[in-house]
Amino acid sequence: MKKMWAGRTSGQTDRIADDFNASIGFDSAMYREDIRGSIAHAAMLAKQGILTEEEYECLAAGLRGIEEDLTSGRLAIDPQAEDIHMFVESVLTDRVGETGKKLHTARSRNDQVALDLRLYLREQTATVQAELLALLSATLEQARAGQDAILPGYTHLQRAQPIVFAQQMLAYCMMFERDYTRLGDALARMNYCPLGSCALAGTTYPTDRAMTAKALGFTAPCENSIDGVSDRDYCIELGSAFATIMMHLSRFSEELILWSSWEFGFVELDDAYTTGSSIMPQKKNPDMAELVRGKTGRVYGNLMGTLTMLKGLPLAYNKDMQEDKEAIFDSVETVKACLRIFAPMVRTMRLHRDRMYEAARVGFINATDLADYLARKGMPFRTAYGLVGELVADCIRRGLVLDTLPLAEYRARSPLIEEDVYEAISLETCVARRISAGGTGPDSVHAQLESVSEFIAKAKAR
Ligand code: ARG
């Protein structure tokens, strides 16, 4: 196929080279952004007297027609076109004639693609934020439901101290809040308009970059034309924020997988988010959670790939940069898909409080509380710690727990221990006594629930 850029060369490229060079297979996803940018550009050219008003009207109408036809399916993307920018421009010229050839005045594909990608990712990131809010709400609901469900909190995956289920869910809420604001930070930093940077050095035409920046919803134009066309920091920042979301989802997945196992049995995932086995009739597998955990790897990989692609590039544009899109598009689609499955999976999950309580009862997770009890009665904490350790070892040998060890035996170890010890080490007391700010005690949990629901209300009002 004869190229639009034929001239310096014959434009007669090898068919295999064409396929290799083409990006139309993935950058056609940005056709709306491409057209939106072109209309804003043409409007600016007309306002600056570079195009006539009639020429602008003709271009804008032609571009709108292409957008409508692509959206309705009347016009199909030509896989032979090199990229979406060339495709739109050539269809435009076919449709409106010579005027179509004026659209690319004072512009290059270098600033055009940089613009399209920013517009596209800005939109997509807002969608990811909305999906995050849905997951945050679902997790908050489970926190509310689990305010008095006591279970062991773990360190090293060993039973550690009693917590309420709400506290664990709220920990995830905190992560999702950070994910949400992290995306917001990246959006604010990337919201500068590269259009008008042209190939790399700006242009000889009297353009008005502030006008296009404003029309396209940017804070301002990028300040430096070389940076405008070379910068892909936003792919890195968003890619990293997406990788962090996936890391959070993956940790949550891991817990759901463990908790829904026969061994734990703390939660049960709804049938809608599980699968069966083709051979073992008894199975209920947490495939969705496993897949989310698995997909985390490719989102990390996309980030690493883009960082590596950029590291050796001299300024300004290099074709290597075409590789940015598949990576970040894949991350966007993966994160959206994972959030979309995760929110309803969390919302419909059932808690098995009895199993949680049972696990909390037998793990000596009130040992710290017994040491605190002795310390309150005057024994130095480190001494109390040692005494309780010996008591635990003793109980394990005899198949007892601290709650069932007779008072006489406690008193033989320390006369500081009285009848009130049983109340002091009951799981309910252990939780209620965790009064420190941010702890698993009821006041703290209540404050966290309030704060998360305020976060959601504010984010939704924005
Ligand atoms: N398809 C190209 C990309 O995605 C568009 C920019 C092409 N610019 C150029 N000078 N060849 O990066």
| Closest CA relative to residue 425, chosen from 385, 383, 376, 372 | 372
Domain 15-105 is found in CATH 1.10.630.10: no
The highest-level CATH class for domain 110-148+158-352 is: mainly alpha
Structure pTM?
Answer: 0.94
Q: Where are the domains of the chain?
A: 15-105, 110-148+158-352, 359-441
pLDDT, position 163: 97
Q: Which two tokens stand for residue 288?
A: 């969705």
CA-83 nearest atom, ligand 1:
1
In tens, the pLDDT along 48-65 reads 999 999 999 999 999 999
Please indicate whether the domains covering 110-148+158-352 and 359-441 agree at the CATH topology level.
Answer: no
Query: Cα separations (Å) of 337 from 124, 125, 180, 342, 366?
Result: 12, 13, 16, 9, 41
Beta carbons of 110 and 313 less than 8 angstroms apart: no
Ligand 1 centroid from CA 68, angstroms:
25
| Closest CA relative to residue 359, chosen from 454, 258, 251 | 258
Domain 359-441 is found in CATH 1.10.620.20: no
In tens, the pLDDT along 279-327 reads 777 878 999 999 999 999 999 999 999 999 999 999 999 999 999 999 9
CA-85 nearest atom, ligand 1:
5
DSSP element (H, E) containing 264: none
pLDDT, position 1: 59
Ligand 1 centroid from CA 260, angstroms:
48
Query: Ligand 1 pocket by C-beta < 6 Å: which residues?
Result: 23, 27, 83, 109-110, 113, 317, 319, 321-322
| Closest CA relative to residue 141, chosen from 452, 461, 460 | 452
Query: Which pLDDT band, with edges at 50, 70 and 90, does 130 fall under?
Result: very high
The residues assigned a catalytic role are 156, 277
204: exposed, middle or buried (C-beta count within 10 Å: 0-12, 13-18, 19+)? exposed
Residue whose tokens read 């083409």:
22
pLDDT, position 2: 66
Ligand 1 centroid from CA 319, angstroms:
6
